[in-house]
Amino acid sequence: MKDISIEEQLKDKGIRNSLLIEAFQDIPEAFFLSENLHPYFYEDIRIEKSIEKTEPRVIVVARMLEQLQVKSEENILIIGVDSVYILAVLSKIYKEVYALETAKTYSDWALEVLKNIDITNVHIKTGKLENGWKAKAPFNAILSASEFNEIPKTIKSQLKIGAKLLAPVGPDWAHVMLETIERVSETEYITKALRDNYFIPKPKLIPKIGTKMYPENEIIDEIGISSIPFKAIIKFPIDGLLERISDAKVVLLGEASHGTSEFYAMRQEITKALIEKKGFNLVCAEADWSDAEQINNYVRNQYQSQDWMPFSRFPEWMWKNKEVLDFVEWLKKNNTKHNNTIGFYGLDLYGLENSIDLVINYLEEIDSDLAALAKLRYSCIMPYMSNPTVYGKLVKNQKLESCEKTVLKMLFDLLKNKNKLNHSQAYFYAYQNATVVVDAERYYKAMYYGSAESWNLRDFHMFYTLKSLLSYHGKDSKAVVWAHNSHIGNALATEMYARGEINIGHLCKEHFGSKSYNIGFGTHTGTVAAAKNWGDAMQVMPINDSLAESYEHLCHKTNVTNFTLPLREQHSEKNLRELLSTPRLERAIGVVYIPETELMSHYFKTVLPSQFDEYIWFNKTKAITPLKIKTEKPELKYMHPFGRIDK
């Protein structure tokens, strides 16, 4: 792939301001070569290198400056940016640049770097960020890259009349909203919340993919030679897989449908081995946090019935099935033997109403004042709990004021009172439920702005929840993730990239590197549990044979019934990866299956060896078995998260 200019890369990230683009291109080469950069090289100075990271600070701030509509003026105040690169860029646009930071070491170093390239119009002061820089006010523009609970009046008052301020508001960088404030008079300000959240990463440049067409028979033969066959799931060559997984911190196990028994059973056997032989202690599923919390409490022998039944909304069969039940009972027995150390957690952001209830219930036992505050904060969105999509539509059509700020405040209140509430397991669960409320509120609004935005919000929430779990359980914790192939494969290797979509697989590769091992699954034919349309009853449907242009078709043609195919560079032949590197179709069946429009509804293009580290193949599969639940009362008194199971 040809080298991409800085201008092209900036425009790829949505930056159009000509002054910004020119300033980024005008930084002297000596700036990048300066030995003085070494002590603070955490920000990866060159923009070409920065873009290779997940939304680095340089790009985030550049996009914020784009929104602020920076122009050649007298001065600008920059708060908590921690980027000498950004300061150098702004020095080319403004007569004077004033930066407020908290660390004197950083400030002294940054000034020395700028001095070495003859930039003398940047001034840095250390102190409390909320105080601003009154002595140099008023400012033509103010930008903060550090979040505030509320934008301080002190800082707002340092704007010139007609000038704008942009700052993130919220408890942490992953759960903020961006606000602009324009000063229109001595006492009046206009505040506007921005829809875009620059702290959620965008896809980077797509990796190089193959374009050469190879004879089909050559590809099929190479897959057959390279694959590792197995006759049954219980005979899967697990030791070899564990060796390839090596010291991974995160193993992501996919599925090509949400209703195929073999996918569930295989990843559960792999998970058991990871727990028993590799010390994995977190099982994280594409499931609602609040529902999975009941499973977690059950398998860790801490179960208490709630007044609502988990996994009771569409698609209830996705987790309420015999395959998952078998694993849940195994995990409970394993925990009984080993001090209840292995948890089961939901990464998804649905279940808004239950998460609100769990936050309030927790606070009512700990702090009645905070519980009352939670009820007040959440009262904005609670009338729409039965159908939160209605809430999103009303906000989008400006018929209802967004509740984003109030639910963010509740998250901040929980964080602020962490020590008072005691940083216990119950507090951690409550905080995670509060993040579900924040991100779900955004999700239901984003549904009306386009599929890419809502998809990205959801997958970023799942990734952030995964990181939170790993952080909470300590540096030695390791996680297994169960989710659809479309979530756990690297999005950059698929046509998702062209739609501007990220996923948890891409984010794990960016964050954990080689310590993220991503495994995809596939099948040629069989049956699947799915619905014809969203909200319809589940059916067991026949799966169409895979299309001729697909990876599944190639695997089927090997005549190997079941196999695993290592794809990571150190575990596979270069020839295999080369042969598979020309984009082909891959099938994705969710909870809805429409065989009549399968090509349009259930296939997307991808590059298999860039998408997964390994691919597990079942030529013929069968549907999962949904649980039959006894409905006679008092089912909620039964001490099992799936209710009274009719065996």
Q: How far is CA 388 from CA 90, 172, 359, 392, 437, in A?
A: 42, 25, 18, 7, 11
User: Average of pLDDT values for 309-319?
Assistant: 89
Structural domain of 111 = 6-193
Q: How many helices (DSSP H) and strands (DSSP E) are in the chain?
A: 26, 20
Q: Which of 102-106, 200-204, 351-355, 618-622 shows the lowest mean pLDDT across its residues?
A: 200-204
Residue 88 lies inside a defined structural domain of this protein = yes
- pLDDT value of residue 54: 34
Query: Around Cβ 72, how many Cβ atoms within 10 Å?
Result: 10
Looking up residue 406, the CATH number of its domain turns out to be 1.20.1440
C-alpha closest to that of 228 among 625, 630, 616: 616
C-beta of residue 508 within 8 angstroms of C-beta of residue 516: yes
Helices 352-366 and 289-299: crossing angle in degrees, nearest 10, is 60
Which DSSP string corresponds to 448-485?
TT-HHHHHHHHHHHHHHHHHHHHHHT-TT--EEEE--H
Q: Where are the strands (E) in 567-613, listed by range?
A: 584-587, 603-606
Which position has the token pair 């987790």? Answer: 319
Q: Is the pLDDT of residue 87 over 70?
A: yes
Give the per-residue pLDDT at 197: 67
179 - beta bridge partners?
167, 193
Residue in 158, 92, 79 with CA at minimum distance from that of residue 125: 79
Burial class (CB in 10 A: 0-12, 13-18, 19+), 397: exposed
Span 381-393, pLDDT tens digits: 999 988 898 999 9
- The fraction of the chain above a pLDDT of 70, given in percent, is 89
Q: Is residue 60 in some structural domain?
A: yes
Confidence tier at 135 by pLDDT (50, 70, 90)? very high
Q: Dihedral of CA 283/287/288/292: which sign?
A: negative
Q: Which of 4, 79, 78, 95 is nearest to 48 (CA)?
A: 4
Q: What is the number of structural domains in the chain?
A: 2
Q: Does residue 109 lie in a domain region?
A: yes
pLDDT at 338 over 70: yes
Beta strand 159-169 pairing with 96-101: unpaired
Judge contact between 212 and 232, C-beta under 8 A: no
**Confidence class of residue 47 from pLDDT cuts 50, 70 and 90?**
very low
Banded pLDDT at 50 (limits 50, 70, 90)? very low
E strand or H helix at 516: strand 516-530
Please report the pLDDT score of residue 43 as a whole number. Answer: 37
Last residue of a domain, one of 146, 171, 193: 193
Question: The domain that contains 90 carries what CATH number?
Answer: 3.40.50.150
Specify if 298 maps to a domain.
no
Residue with tokens 């099935």: 321
Residues 64 and 41 sit within 8 Å (Cβ to Cβ): no
Q: Residue 187 — pLDDT band, cuts 50, 70, 90?
A: very high
Q: Which amino acid is at 115?
A: K
Residue 230 falls inside a structural domain? no
Question: What does the pLDDT read at residue 37?
Answer: 45
- Residue 581 near residue 573, CB atoms below 8 Å: no
> Does 309 reside within a domain?
no
At residue 91, the pLDDT reads: 95
Confidence (pLDDT) at 1: 35
Statement: residue 449 has pLDDT above 90: no
DSSP 3-state of 200: coil
Give the mean model confidence (pLDDT) for residues 215-235. 96
Q: Which of 176, 193, 210 is the last residue of a domain?
A: 193
pLDDT band of 339, cuts 50, 70, 90 = confident
With a cut of 80, say whether residue 569 has pLDDT above it.
Answer: yes
**Is a pLDDT exceeding 90 seen at residue 602?**
yes
Calculate the alpha carbon distances from 497 to 14, 543, 601 in Å.
Answer: 15, 27, 18
More confident residue, 50 or 18: 18
Q: Whole-prediction pTM value? A: 0.85
Weakest mean pLDDT among 32-36, 50-54, 202-206, 415-419: 50-54
Structural contact between residues 541 and 592, judged by C-beta atoms closer than 8 angstroms: no
Q: What per-residue confidence (pLDDT) applies to 211?
A: 66
* Domain-ending residue, one of 453, 483, 504: 453
Q: What percent of the chain has pLDDT over 90?
A: 66
Residue 637: its pLDDT value, please?
44
Per-residue pLDDT tens for 393-418? 998 888 999 999 999 999 988 888 88
Can you give the pLDDT at residue 601? Answer: 93
Average pLDDT across the chain, whole number: 88
307 in a structural domain: no
pLDDT at 295: 93
Higher pLDDT, 134 or 629: 134
Residue 30 pLDDT more than 70? no
According to DSSP, residue 3 is labeled P
> For the ranges 107-111, 468-472, 486-490, which has the lowest average pLDDT?
107-111
| Structural domain includes residue 397 | yes
CA distance 150 to 160: 20
Q: What is the pLDDT of residue 83?
A: 81
**Segment 476-487 mean pLDDT:** 97
* pLDDT value, residue 415: 84
> Is residue 53 scored above 70 in pLDDT?
no
Q: State whether residue 129 is helix, strand or coil.
A: helix
pLDDT at residue 38, as a whole number:
38
3-state helix, strand, coil in the chain (%, to 5): 45, 20, 35
